[in-house]
Chains A and B, each alone.
Chain A
Amino acid sequence: MFKIMRGAGGERVFRAATITALALLALFFFSIIISLLTHTNWDTFIRALVSEEILFAIRLSTTTATIAAIISILIAVPVAYAISRNDFPGKDLVDSLLDLPIVISPVALGAALLVFFNTPVGSAINNNVIRFVFAVPGIVLAQFTVISALAIRLLKSTFDGIDPRYEQVARTLGCSKPEAFFSVSLPLAKDGLIAAVILTWARAVGEFGATVTLAGATTLKTETLPTAISLSLASANVEKAIAVIFVLIIIAIIALLAIRKLIGRRYQI
């Protein structure tokens, strides 16, 4: 089949095929947004948007996502650096283990966390240290569990792209190993770091499966934006659901624009 596509004619057919795929996908997403817009009653939309419940969900989602993103980045930086720069027995196994949260369903992760807090150790933590189950810290933990793997993956590819010789040269210029990391590798990783912060934060805002399983879906208590969509649809309040969907779309657009604005096209996700 590929033989008959040789020459300029083949090139045109191939180009048309790839552009058609792109156009179809763009049309698919565009249709979804149009259908949302046509289903929206703007008065109801505005009323839903400024309702106490949605404003609470926005505040809760952004706060918990910010905390989860900060914690995950603080942990992902050393973990990603360690995996990127060191060879050790079982590295592939550890690397694959850290990818698990990306491939496992978030509901399964939430259920696993719930099971953990039913063990003696988990139960002791939940009862005596911080209450996670059906509580706000549970939202942060669920978001952290889901997004940490993403943060590690993004930062590992960033550190992989930084030539270790920058640090070596810094060390011959008088830097200790930690000084070389902070004064050379981290500034070199700036673009990747910014992208990782924004993307993990945006992913945390949109996290639903693990959150609802561990923290529950109690209105004005553990109701995040995705939980609000689920609760609104469950009570057949479509306008409210659409209002929240638009909030999530706006947050996603702001996140992607922020990446473009801050680091331009230098960082390819």
Chain B
Amino acid sequence: MIEIKNLSVTFGEFFLRDVNLTINDREYFIILGPTGAGKTVLIECIAGLHRIRQGNIWIDQVEVTHMAPEERNTGYVPQDYVLFPFLNVVDNIAFGLRQIKYTKPRIKERVEKLAAIVGISHLLYRNTRSLSGGEKQRVALARALAPSPKILLLDEPLGALDLRTSKYLRLELKRIHKQLGITTIHITHDLMEAVEMGDRVAIIQNGQVEQVAQPEKVLFYPGSERVSDFIGAPNILDCDSCQSLGQGVMEVGCGNLKLIIPHEGDSVHKVAILPRHVYVSEIRPPGRGVNCFSGNVTSIKYSTSAIRIGIETEGKNLVAELPHHIFEEMDLTIGKEVFLILRMRRIRVYENSEA
């Protein structure tokens, strides 16, 4: 277990103010926040890379606040992996094992085992410069895991990867976490990554922890307006009926709005969809039209990053977010009839009725 109490740190332009967190054993804990929020400084403090003047950190009831990094037994994967360029893949993974004086046969055995776990057995004798982003990420992960750390610290591990590799590695990271059962702290600025991967999520903004909760709670019950703004002010709809359609699909009723969602549980209390996942069209989309509705534009709000369109449909007010270039290609005005598609896979579900 990791306990952080009243931690305040300043490091260049980045800072943390009075951070309090408890991370449980074997938990996959996500630290979510915008760029510059202080997320990296926080895990670097846990790894022992910054001098702490105020606050305390305990790992398994042992105070590590002023311990050197090498005494903390943490595995750290930096954002751009920082593989040692003068060593090949095997020697990168074996680096930590040599420090704890493993014998050569034990190093070989451990490296091969980890390479198999992270799926890089075919890369072992490659130069690290010739690896792709996803491969580098796996090597850095194997290197961090090699000395059997108590905690794994991942700094935006999927941030530098293309979307396809990133989505694949999300599943891989969860599988590895499940297989090894290691307490993991994962930093990201991507809400969907946090929601899909985390057992719990801490939202950090301006160096302060705004909310710590299960991912669904963050999505459905943002702790503050700032959190709500950061996660993109999702459309949240109360469900008053639900009916299983079989094969993991359910129809839920939110007033007059009937939505098809992927869900295998018994009941659904609320559903949420981010404005950027609500697609808007001026013409009726072809096909069967699952989760496709017609509505009228009620508001258009401009911001530097996107245009937010308010649309009334089936008695509900939904918000869609369009990139500037898409909005400029459309001819949207207040009162105009448009068609909405709520992508089934993007709809998040909240089962509990307690807030």
Contacts and interface: CB of A to CB of B under 8 A. Distances in A.
Interface string A151-166: 0000000000001011
5 contacts: A165-B78, A168-B44, A169-B76, A172-B70, A173-B99
Interface string B102-127: 00000000000000000000000000
Interface of A: 163, 165-166, 168-177, 179, 183-184, 187-188, 190
Contacts of A190: 86
Contacts of B69: 168, 171-172
Contacts of A171: 48-49, 68-70
Nearest to B146: A173
Contacts of B95: 170, 173, 183
A183 B68 CA distance: 17
A165 B96 contact: no
Given A168-B47, A172-B72, A188-B86, 5 more contacts: A166-B84, A168-B76, A173-B144, A175-B70, A187-B86
A176 B68 contact: yes
B85 interface: yes
A184 B84 contact: yes
Given A173-B96, A174-B99, A166 B82 contact: yes
A172 B76 contact: yes
A172 B47 contact: yes
B49 A168 contact: yes
Contacts of A175: 70, 99
A224 to B, nearest CB: 37
A163 B99 contact: no
A81 B146 CA distance: 29
Contacts of A169: 76, 78, 82
Contacts of A176: 68, 70
Interface residues of B, number: 24
B102 to A, nearest CB: 11
A266 to B, nearest CB: 11
Main secondary structure of the interface of A (DSSP, over half): helix
Nearest to B69: A171
B137 interface: no
Interface in B81-95: 82, 84-86, 95
Interface in B47-85: 47-49, 68-70, 72, 74-76, 78, 82, 84-85
A260 B204 CA distance: 50
Contacts of B68: 171, 176-177
B99 A179 contact: yes
A149 B68 CA distance: 33
A103 B86 CA distance: 36
A176 B69 CA distance: 8
A163 B143 contact: no
Which of B49, B70, B143 neighbours the largest number of chain A CB atoms within 10 Å of its CB? B70
A261 to B, nearest CB: 19
Contacts of B70: 171-176
A165 B82 contact: yes
B295 interface: no
B147 interface: yes
Contacts of A163: 82
A187 B68 CA distance: 23
Nearest to B72: A172
Contacts of A179: 99
Contact of A173 (B44, B48, B86, B147): B147
A79 B252 CA distance: 70
B163 interface: no
Nearest to B149: A172
Contact of B75 (A172, A177, A188): A172
B48 A174 contact: no
A174 B78 contact: no
B95 to A, nearest CB: 5
